[in-house]
Amino acid sequence: MGLTEWVLVGLVLVAVAVVLLWRRAVRLDTLHRTVLRSRQTLETQLAQRAAAAHELATSGALDPAETLLVTDVVLRATDAAGSEVVPDGLAGSTPDHLLAAPDVSAATPPEERSDRALIESELSRTLRTVLGDGASRQGLAEDPRTGDMLDRLEQSWYRLQLARRFHNSHVEQVRRLRADPVVRYFRLAGRAPMPEPFDMDDTLPSD
């Protein structure tokens, strides 16, 4: 082949490489957005569980000590809801400039990142203690004051489990793609923060 043919082949190879890199970057951007959407869903489910727990605590069916315990944790969980559920900096990125977002996750101390998860885990443990075993919950389920409330709490708790698992699954996909040598070498993630999973105790009460 002559020089012209070699130049054309080189241009084609460069164009193919650019297209492949562009598609990889678009895929990464899409996954980042998916994490943000699943995080919003997780935030909603956390709030709904807290609301259902507060409703049950103030129903009058629990004894004063149990009411105080649940109400205290619920109020702290509600106060914590004013902060990002996962303060890795991803939520502060604007959708149109996600890949250019500053990496602020390193500036967030680990203890601050875990506060929300600790409170939500405490709420899970408190609710399991208060609700007791299946026989104890059956009494609440048959109580006309709390039957519907208990059902709403259990449903919101189950939806919370699903939301957290979906969120963490999406985070894992992003982290796996960003570990790809091509993505790292060509810096396809830009300065976007590395998304973090949300780990908490969300185990439902046992029967």
Q: Evaluate whether residue 206 is within a structural domain.
A: yes
Cα–Cα–Cα angle for 124, 70, 91, nearest 5°?
55
Tens of pLDDT, residue by residue over 122-140, are 999 999 999 988 778 888 8
Q: Evaluate whether residue 21 is within a structural domain.
A: no
As for how many domains the chain has, the answer is 1
| Terminal C-alpha separation, the chain | 76
Q: pTM for the complete prediction?
A: 0.85
Q: Evaluate whether residue 171 is within a structural domain.
A: yes
Per-residue confidence at 113, pLDDT binned at 50, 70, 90?
very low
> Which tokens belong to 202?
């969300």
128: helix, strand or coil: helix
For residue 25, pLDDT over 50 is answered with: yes
Per-residue confidence at 103, pLDDT binned at 50, 70, 90?
very low
Closest CA to 86 of 122, 120, 54: 120
Q: Evaluate whether residue 87 is within a structural domain.
A: yes
SS3 helix, strand, coil % of the chain, rounded to 5?
75, 0, 25
Q: Evaluate whether residue 78 is within a structural domain.
A: yes
Percent of the chain past pLDDT 70, that is, above it, reads: 89
41-55, 73-87, 114-128, 139-153 — which one is most confidently predicted on average?
A: 41-55
Q: Tell which wins on pLDDT, 86 or 91.
A: 86
Q: Evaluate whether residue 153 is within a structural domain.
A: yes
Q: Evaluate whether residue 123 is within a structural domain.
A: yes
Q: Evaluate whether residue 168 is within a structural domain.
A: yes
Instruction: Say how far apart CA 103 and CA 29 lie, in whole Å.
Output: 15
For residue 106, pLDDT over 60 is answered with: no
Look at residue 38 in the predicted model and tell me its pLDDT: 97
Domain range enclosing 127: 40-93+104-207
